[in-house]
Structure 1
Amino acid sequence: MHVRVPLNRPELSILPQPASIVREEGYFQLTQDTVIVTDQETQAIGTLLANMLAPALGFLLSVLTDEHTHLPTISLGIDSQLAHLGQEGYMLKVTAGQATLRAAHPAGVFYATQTLRQLLPVEIFSSTPVSRTWTIPAVSIEDFPRFSWRGCMLDSARHFIPMQEVVKLIDVLAFHKINVLHLHLTDDQGWRIEIKKYPKLTEIGAYRRETVIGHARRPQGYDSTPHGGFYSQDDLREIVAYAADRFMTVVPEIDMPGHAQSAIAAYPELGVLKAPVEVATTWGIHPYLYNPTEAVFQFLKDVLSEVMAIFPSTFIHIGGDEAIKDQWQDSQQVQALIKALKLKDEDELQSWFLSQIRTFLAHNNRRLLGWDEILDGGLPSGATVMSWRGMDGGIMAAQSHHDVVMTPTSSVYLDYYQSNDPAEPLAIGGYLPVDKVYAFDPTPTVLTPEQAQHILGAQCNLWSEYVQTTEHLEYLLFPRAIALSEVVWTPKERLEFSDFRGRLAVHEARLASLNVNFRPVEKLDQEQMFPARADLVVPGGF
Structure 2
Amino acid sequence: MKYRNKLVKYASFFLPALSLLICYPAHPCPAAQALDGRASTAGSAPANGQISIIPRPLKMERGEGEFVLSAETVILAAEGTESAAEFLAGRLAPATGFGFQVKPLTGSPERQNSIVLRIEPALNSLGPEGYSLQVLENRIMISASSPAGIFYGCQSLRQLLPPAIESREKMDNLRWSIPSLKIEDSPRFAWRGFMLDCSRTFQSVEYLKRNIDLLSLYKLNVFHLHLTDDQGWRVEIGRYPELTGIGARFPERWHKPGGFYTRAELAGLVDYAARRNVRIVPEIEMPGHSLAALACHPELSCSGGPFEIYPFFQGPGIQENIFCAGKEATFEFLENILKEVADIFPGEYIHIGGDEAPKAAWKKCPDCQARIRAAGLKDEEELQSYFIRRIEKVLMKYDRRLIGWDEILQGGLAPEATVMSWRGMEGGVAAAKAGHAVIMSPTSHCYLDYTHEETPVEKSYAFEPVPASLSPDKARHILGLQGNMWTHIATDEPAVDRQVFPREIALAEAAWTAPELRDWPDFSRRLAENLKRLDALGVGYYGKTP
TM-score, with length taken from structure 1:
0.89
* Contact preservation (8 Å) 2:199, 2:226: yes
Q: Give deviations 1:174-220, integer Å, cap 9, x for gaps.
A: 1000000000000001000000100010010001137xxxxxxxxxx
Matched, 1:195 2:240: no
User: Which residue does the alignment assign to 2:91?
Assistant: 52
Q: Which amino acid aligns with 2:520?
A: F
Residues 157 and 192 of structure 1 are in contact (CA less than 8 Å); yes or no, is this contact kept in structure 2? yes
Instruction: Report the secondary structure of 1:227's partner residue.
Output: coil
1:508 and 1:520 in contact (8 A); partners too: no
Structure 2 residue aligned with 1:271: 301
Amino acid at match of 2:227: L
After superposition, give the CA deviation of every residue in 1:23-77 in whole Å (9 maximum; x if it has no partner): 1100001111110001110011101110111110113200011346634110001
For residues 538 and 444 of structure 2, what CA distance do their matches in structure 1 show? 29
Q: Which runs of 5+ in 1 are unaligned?
A: 1-6, 211-222, 420-430, 524-542
RMSD of the alignment, in Å? 1.5
**1:508 positional shift:** 1.1
Shift of 1:224: 3.5
Counterpart pick for 2:130 among 71, 80, 89: 89
Answer yes or no: is 1:286 the counterpart of 2:319. yes
Q: Which runs of 4+ in 1 moved over 3 A?
A: 7-11, 66-71, 520-523
Amino acid at match of 1:21: M
The aligned counterpart of 2:220 is: 178
Contact 1:11/1:120 (8 A) holds in 2: no
Task: Give the Å deviation of 1:520.
Answer: 3.7
Rounded to whole Å, the distance in 1 between the matches of 2:495 and 2:235 is 23
2:545 and 2:494 mapped to 1: Cα distance?
Answer: 19
Whole-angstrom distance in 1 between the partners of 2:105 and 2:78: 8
Q: Kindly report which structure 2 residues correspond to 1:108-147, keeping only aligned pairs within 5 A, or say none.
A: 108-131=149-172, 132-147=174-189
Gaps of 5+ in 2: 1-45
Give the whole-Å Cα distance in 2 for the aligned partners of 1:246 and 1:9.
31
Name the residue aligned to 2:469.
446
Q: Is the 8 A contact 2:312 2:488 kept in 1?
A: no
Give the Cα–Cα distance (whole angstroms) in 2 for the partners of residues 462 and 349 of structure 1.
Answer: 30
Higher relative contact order (CA 8 A, sep 6+): 2
Matches of 1:493 and 1:92 in 2, distance apart? 22
1:414 Cα offset (Å): 0.3
Query: 1:427-442, aligned counterparts within 5 Å?
Result: 431-442=454-465
Pairwise CA distance, 1:21: 1.2
CA distance change for structure 1 residues 37 and 305 in 2, over 3 Å: closer, same or farther?
Answer: same
Residue number in structure 1 paired with 2:144 = 103
Q: Secondary structure at the match of 1:36?
A: strand
**Among 285, 288, 291, which residue is 1:255 paired with?**
285
| C-alpha contact (below 8 Å) 2:223/2:281 kept by paired residues | yes
8 Å contact kept, 2:193–2:221: yes
Which of the numbers 331, 335, 340 marks the counterpart of 1:301? 335
1:14 is aligned to 2:22: no
AA at the equivalent of 1:268: P
**SS of corresponding position for 1:333:** helix
Q: TM-score, length-normalised on structure 2?
A: 0.89
Who is 1:531 aligned against?
A: none
1:505 partnered with 2:528:
yes
Shift, 1:270, TM fit: 1.6
* 1:458 match: secondary structure: strand
For residues 396-424 of structure 1, the C-alpha deviation after alignment (integer angstroms, 9 at most, x for no partner) is 000000000000001100000003xxxxx
Q: Percent identity?
A: 46
Distance in 1 of aligned mates of 2:528 and 2:63: 24
SS at match of 1:516: coil
- Alpha-carbon spacing, 1:61–1:189, altered in 2? closer, same or farther (3 Å): same
Q: Secondary structure of the equivalent of 2:414?
A: coil
Which residue in the other structure is 1:64 paired with?
103
Retained in 1: the 8 A contact 2:105–2:116?
no
Which residue is equivalent to 1:528?
none
Structure 2 distance, partners of 1:265, 1:24, is 64
Q: Verify the 8 A CA contact 1:10 1:503 in the aligned structure 2.
A: no
Moved more, 323-332 or 175-184: 323-332
In structure 2, C-alpha distance between the alignment counterparts of 1:361 and 1:10, rounded to whole Å: 51
Matching residue's letter, 2:161: L
Indicate if the aligned counterparts of 1:387 and 1:394 stay in contact, CA closer than 8 A. Answer: yes
Aligned to 1:416: 450
Q: Name the residue aligned to 2:385.
A: 351
